Amino acid sequence: MNLQNIIDDLNLTLLTERKDFSAVEISEGYTSDLLSCVMAGAPHGSVWVTLQAHANIVAVAALLELGAIIISEDAQPGPATLAKANQEGITMLSTPRKSFEVVGRLWEMGLRG
């Protein structure tokens, strides 16, 4: 499954620069709002579902080379955070859905953690 499938199926809003998301393969996912847990648990290239929207999630995603961050409950990152994400090449997506529902849908799509 690629990131474009996920964006389409979950109707996610793109917050960062557009890329060829159909070329970004995603097979695993992870969810937590605690950054150290993400550091320990999020697989390389996975999609991370979180409620956090501050700049440090970009640092975490960049260090782990994650495929994308899905921010739930419409939490809005600030312009500095988005600028940093674009600079680091991290894709940030947002949705009004709750983390629980996002993860459920990703699991239904076949994503595993």
Partner 1 sequence: MDQTSRFKGKIVTDQAAGNITRSEELAYELKIAEVMSTQMQLLSPDMHMGDVLAMFRQAHISGAPVVENGKCVGIISIEDTIRCLLNNDMQAPVSEYMTRNVITINSVEPVISALKTFVTIQVGRLPVVNEGGDLVGILTKGDITRGLLKALQHDYQAEEVIRYRASHLFEDIESDRTSLILRYNIAPRDFTKGGAASSNIKRALVRLGAPPQIARRTGIAVYEAEINLIIHTTNGGVIRVEIEPQKITIDAYDDGPGIADIDQALRPGFSTATNEVRELGFGAGMGLVNISRCVDSMKLESTVGVGTRLKMKINLETQDAFREGSTATKETKA
Complex with partner 1: residue 54 or 100, whichever CB lies closer: 54
**Binding pattern to partner 1, positions 89-108, x when CB under 8 A?**
--------------------
- Least distance in Å: CB of 97 to partner 1? 19
**Entry field: residues in the chain:** 113
The 3-state secondary structure of 66-87 reads: CCEEEECCCCCCCHHHHHHHHH
Contacts (CB under 8 A) with partner 1, residues 10-69: 18, 20, 33-37, 39-44, 50, 52, 54-60, 62-65
**Token pair for 18:** 């557009």
Complex with partner 1: residue 25 or 37, whichever CB lies closer: 37
Tell me if 9 contacts partner 1 by CB under 8 A: no
Gap between the Cα atoms of 72 and 56, Å rounded:
16
Query: Which residue, among 53, 50, 52, has the nearest Cα to 79 in the 3D structure?
Result: 53
Strands 13-14 and 92-94, bridge-based pairing: antiparallel
Q: Under rule CB under 8 A, how many of the chain's residues touch partner 1?
A: 28
**Residues in contact with partner 1 by the rule CB under 8 A:** 18, 20, 33-37, 39-44, 50, 52, 54-60, 62-65, 80, 88
